Amino acid sequence: MTLRNVQNHMQWSVLVGCIIGLTACQAKQQERVQQGYTTTIVNADSSKTIVTTYSASIEGMQDIDIYPQVSGYIEKLNVNEGDIVRKGQVLFVIDQVPYKAALQTAVANVEVAKAGLATADLTYKSTQKLHAQKVVSDFNLQTSENAYLTAKAQLAQAEAQEVNARNNLSYTEVKSPSDGVVGMLPFRVGTLVSPNMPQALTTVSDNSNMYVYFSMTENQLLSLARQYGTINKALEGMPAIKLQLNDGSTYGENGKIESISGVIDKATGTVGVRAVFPNPDRLLHSGASGNVLIPNIYTNCTVIPQGATVKLQDQLLVYKVVDGKAVSTLIKIAPVNDGKEYIVVEGLKSGDEIISKGAGMVREGAQVK
């Protein structure tokens, strides 16, 4: 190898060594960046809306089971499943023939009783005159009076039977007790029905407005009371709520929480809540299920990422940057969160600098800056 070749070889070796050294230096710099801490300045003027979801059941304002008040065969069926009906509308007609005959008999009995009372009245008045003339005895007068009173009672009884017969005839027309929608119709024309039957003829659901029932835990109830001051104020001041239907879509109408039970269920530790939703398009059906979406609106609050916190038993802490070092600080948070961020109610103030990522890897007093 010539001297020039040796020199060239040495130059290439130095160049390669420099390149390798430069690459190693860059790698070390990247590693320090990756191991560095991400910090953020706390702002206490944030606004945050967190939606809480509750499983719910949907019921009509009134679900009325329709039973016949008299026995007989169904003669007419005037509605179909899903029909919208009005209060007083005839749904079924039960065979009226025996009830018309019973009414005619009752009317005839009233006429007979009236005639009997008229006769008894004449007899009693005649006996009174004769008794005044000392023609008949006290016994005859008392007997005549008793016959009159008996005839009077028989007329009252006959009239009551007539009223009962008229009512029974009217009951052959089974009417809707309220506005609503007709449910299933398990019985058809020709079916023998009676007041004691185990299954209703149908159900009329008043679903112009729908009740949505769900439950809150005791802690959620207490949190609500603290947020608004009292439960009554919470009912007045809570924002409109939404309803998520069973297919995942959101119902188009807003609802409002109408009442909260005053008793906590001992078995479940929850309290019943009722909300009301308008149902102008009849999209909601009694017996359906869904989820109530309640917005929790926080203003002028401190919001931090959950990655900035460390859980220590039942407490949460964050690391504030004080004089360039990590200092642990206990915080209290709002009872609801969105799974990504916490709302801090105590422990931080505006302008505090905290480690916002990887707080679980930080050690107390670690040099941050």
pTM of the predicted model as reported, rounded to 2 decimal places: 0.61
- Name the β-bridge partners of 180: 85
pLDDT at position 282 over 70: yes
pLDDT of residue 14: 37
Q: Which residue has the higher pLDDT, 174 or 341?
A: 174
Q: Which residue has the higher pLDDT, 91 or 3?
A: 91
pLDDT of residue 335: 81
Burial class (CB in 10 A: 0-12, 13-18, 19+), 151: buried
* Domains of the chain, each with CATH number or no CATH: 39-47+300-361 (2.40.420.20), 52-60+204-297 (2.40.30.170), 68-92+177-199 (no CATH), 97-171 (1.10.287.470)
pLDDT at position 24 over 60: no
For residue 239, CA distances in Å to 220, 235, 256, 367 come to 16, 9, 8, 46
Mean of pLDDT over the chain: 86
CA-CA distance, 325 to 322, in Å (whole number)? 5
Are 68 and 173 spatial neighbours (Cβ–Cβ below 8 Å)?
Answer: no
Sequence-distant (≥ 6) Cβ neighbours of residue 179 within 8 angstroms: 84, 85, 86, 87, 206, 208
Q: Of 207, 199, 213, which is closest to residue 182 (Cα–Cα)?
A: 207
Q: Which residue has the higher pLDDT, 235 or 29?
A: 235
Q: Which residue has the higher pLDDT, 128 or 29?
A: 128
Name the percent of the chain lying above pLDDT 90. Answer: 56
- Token pair, residue 91, equals 């749904």
Q: Of 175, 32, 200, 208, which is closest to residue 91 (Cα–Cα)?
A: 175
pLDDT of residue 85: 92
Note the pLDDT tens digit of each residue in 232-241: 888 888 889 9
pLDDT of residue 36: 67
Kindly report the number of other CB atoms within 10 A of residue 211's CB atom: 22
What confidence category does residue 129 fall into, taking pLDDT thresholds of 50, 70 and 90?
Answer: very high
Name the percent of the chain lying above pLDDT 70. Answer: 90
Q: Is the dihedral of CA 24, 25, 26, 32 positive or negative?
A: positive
Are 212 and 275 spatial neighbours (Cβ–Cβ below 8 Å)?
Answer: yes
